[in-house]
Structure formats: C-alpha cells, structure tokens
C-alpha cells in the first residue's frame, strides 16, 4: 500500500511538472536593447524584450514562436520574477547576455525554465 501511495504521488508530481506552454526564440541584437535604445544587461530583461518585440513592435526573428502566456503585458511584467524562481544555468545566462542564441522557454504557472539550444 505504501508503494502504491508513492507511485500515485509521483504521477501527480509529474503531471504538475508539465509546462503550460513552450516556445522557441532567437535572442537577436534587437532583443538586447529596450525600446529607448538602452542596452539590456540581464538575461531576464533580454528575454522580456524579445517578447515585447514579438507582441508589441512586430520585430520577430525567423525562429521566434508565439506563446499563450507572454502575449499579455501583465504576464511579461512577471517574467523576471518567474525566471528567478525557475532555472537558467550560469553558462546559459552568460550566452544569452553576450550572444544571440536560440532558446527554449518552458512556462510553468509560477516559474520559467530557459535553456540555450544553440548559440
């Protein structure tokens, strides 16, 4: 009976671990500057600018995909906090801040997980 409870608990945890949405985006040079032309220096602000460029300014890179969460301005405002509670390796953070990588973003209700696919 204990084994069954653990198995059911494990299945429940895996169900909740699934992202609510996933998208791919190229973080090009245009994503490294805000709408006033000021350089952005953190991975979170660069990713947020990518979504603003996509949804507000129509500045899309060929690999950019839409998502159902960050098309809302209020949700984009939460991105930095969600990333701080999610996962982004130091290596991937440096690649985002210093390059123009293709990233995968897994959106969960309270956090995001970002992975660099290629730089």
**Helical spans, DSSP H, in 1-119:** 2-17, 43-52, 73-77, 79-84, 90-98
pLDDT in tens, 38-71: 999 999 999 999 999 999 999 999 999 999 999 9
> What pTM value is reported for the model?
0.84
Q: What is the pLDDT of residue 98?
A: 97
Q: Average per-residue pLDDT in the chain?
A: 88
Checking if the pLDDT of 7 tops 80, the result is: no
pLDDT in tens, 81-101: 999 999 999 999 999 999 999
């Amino acid at each position: 009976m204990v084994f069954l409870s653990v198995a059911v608990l494990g299945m429940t945890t895996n169900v909740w671990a699934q992202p609510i949405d996933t998208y791919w985006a190229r973080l090009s040079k245009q994503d490294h500057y805000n709408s006033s032309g000021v350089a952005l220096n953190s991975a979170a602000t660069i990713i947020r600018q990518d979504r603003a460029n996509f949804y507000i300014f129509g500045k899309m890179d060929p690999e950019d995909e839409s998502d159902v969460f960050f098309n809302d301005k209020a949700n984009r405002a939460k991105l930095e906090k969600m990333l701080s509670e999610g996962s982004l390796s130091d290596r991937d953070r440096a690649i985002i801040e210093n390059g123009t990588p293709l990233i995968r973003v897994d959106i969960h209700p309270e956090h995001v997980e970002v992975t660099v696919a290629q730089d």
